[in-house]
Amino acid sequence: MHYCANGQQVVQKMFWSQYLDNPNRIIEAANGDFLFTHSLISTSMLNSTSLTRLDSTLNMIWSRQFVLPTQKVFLWYHKEITPDTIVILGKISDSSNIVVSTFLLKIDGSGTVISAKILHDLNNFYIRDIIWSDVQQKMVLYGKKVITGFYDERMQILTYDKDLNFLWGKEYAYGFQDDIISADFFSNNGLILQADVNHDIDSSSTEPCCGTLLIRIDSIGNELWTKRIGNIPNLYSGNGSIHSGKILVLDNHEIVNVYHTTYYNNSPKNDIVVQKTDSLGNEINSLRISNATNNIHSCQQIIKNQNLILRLNNFTNFILDQNLNYIDFKRIVPSNNQVTILDQQICTNGQTVVLGQYMPSKKISVMLTDSMSNIGCYQYPFIPCPYQTVSMPNTSAYYTLNTTSLTVLDSTVAISASSNWILQDSLLCLSSTVVSEIIFDEIKVFPTMTYNKVFIESSLNNHFMAEIYNSVGQKLEYFASLPEMVDLSHLPKGVLILRIMSKTHLKSFKLILL
């Protein structure tokens, strides 16, 4: 074990089996646990995918494979739709690794299968992701459907409820090669889509052949409006393309687009453009991020906390406020490019969990930190990145968006969870904030019998975390740093347990709420 140099709350763990491990996605569960998918690849290339559950301090609870006799099951995307109910999108392949079916799987918090459905005739549906809305109580699968080949690809959406019942599906065609790259819900009605589109143009046209559309649809998939993102003309043959990246709807229904261009102002290079629009797709402001010196090609992820965090490529975070004002630009890899970041999520308690792959040995790296900058044990200095405010106004769509309704049939399938999979783990990094038992003895908690409030005295509040449990072990509250006062009035009366923790020690205090 070695310690970090700056005193952040950082835990970094490595997980591995006897096979090569390829992690994919990580999510936070409602109770603070984490679930991530990873493929297990043997020397004979017999692939399968597992789902692993970790507790809030990255200790493994279980790791399960989901199996179907004589066939291979792959887990692609997973979402928690209600506490301890997870929906998984997956594929089934035959012995030749040819995909034969797409399925939806519903499991409980212990990995036990509740139900599973085969979605028929979706082998040519290339799904980008699934998203779930608690407000709309709807799950959306989006991507592209290949009809007859490379020159007939259409945007496609399928929607399901929490019981895996099909609601509606739509195909959208703009040109000859269309694909929904990113999607997000409006809070109470419909979605916003970001799509790459190609179409034929004549030599005199100023429209780019390859562009991006911003599409607003209602709760049953009907088009409300369509806007072309950006105004780059087709000045050079084979150039002038705009490519979709990621999209995010803010709480006030303003939209943040992140996309990249093949050139900007006739400069032959890729640039990332972050654009903010109103709810009708009209530009408010935009920011250009140049990759001339930093080898940035695309935005892999955009996350909203109090700020906007853009994960560019697989090793850097570009941090803006919600008005697109620049804040910071930092590397997030924990060592000299040995870890590729695959996913990161901001947790409900303000921490950040990061999933990556340790490249030399193809092992799984999971990091938990209280900071979005300089994640991991090996700190990097600030990296300057060229950026400037620009204007990239959206225009009305040049072609008509054609819509076709569709229905997908399904049937039940006997997918089951295998016995617990054994993954070894090792602690790579623990925060340098190491607190002795003697300092724990200096913490004062009073009164231990109260009607509403309890007070905590310590000279090292920022070096501790705190949790409150009820008498049956359910976590009720979490504090990333030690508070001076805790209001218990909203909690159920009775015996409560206050746990105060550093990364190496723990002490519990019994409280009685009258």
Peptide bond into 23 cis (omega under 30): no
200 in a domain, yes or no?
A: yes
201 and 281 in a common domain = yes
pLDDT on residue 440: 56
121-175 pLDDT, tens per residue?
888 899 999 999 999 999 999 999 998 766 789 999 999 999 999 999 999 999 8
93 in a domain, yes or no?
A: no
Does 386 or 192 have the greater pLDDT score? 192
Q: Which helix (H) or strand (E) covers residue 438, if one does? A: helix 437-441
**What percentage of residues in the chain have a pLDDT greater than 70?**
78
Helix, strand, coil in percent for the chain, rounding step 5: 0, 55, 40
pLDDT on residue 418: 79
Please tell me the total count of domains within the chain: 2
| Three-state secondary structure call for residue 368 | strand
Phi, psi of 18 (to 5 degrees): -75, -5
CATH at 474: 2.60.40.1930
4-47 pLDDT, tens per residue?
434 455 788 888 876 667 888 999 999 999 999 988 765 444 46
pLDDT on residue 44: 46
Nearest Cα neighbor of 34 from 68, 7, 11 is: 11
pLDDT on residue 383: 54
Residue burial 121-150, b: 16+ Cβ < 10 Å; e: rest: ebeebebbbbbbbeebebbbbbbbbbeeee
- 């229905």: which residue's tokens? 407
pLDDT reading at 411 higher than 90: yes
**In degrees, to the nearest 5, what angle opens at C-alpha 20 toward C-alphas 17 and 22?**
105
pLDDT on residue 167: 96
156 in a domain, yes or no?
A: yes
151 and 204 in a common domain = yes
The Cα 103–Cα 124 span in angstroms is 14
Phi, psi of 341 (to 5 degrees): -80, 125
Range of the domain at 487: 437-513
Highest mean pLDDT among 195-209, 216-230, 291-305, 356-370: 216-230
Task: Give the pTM.
Answer: 0.78
Query: Two tokens at 198?
Result: 């190609």
239 and 135 in a common domain = yes
| Three-state secondary structure call for residue 441 | helix
pLDDT reading at 206 higher than 60: no
267 and 156 in a common domain = yes
182 and 269 in a common domain = yes
Residue type, 276: K
Contact assessment for residue 64 and residue 73, using Cβ atoms and an 8 Å cutoff: no
Model confidence band, residue 380 (pLDDT cutoffs 50, 70, 90):
very low
pLDDT on residue 38: 87
Phi, psi of 102 (to 5 degrees): -110, 145
pLDDT on residue 434: 40
pLDDT on residue 260: 81
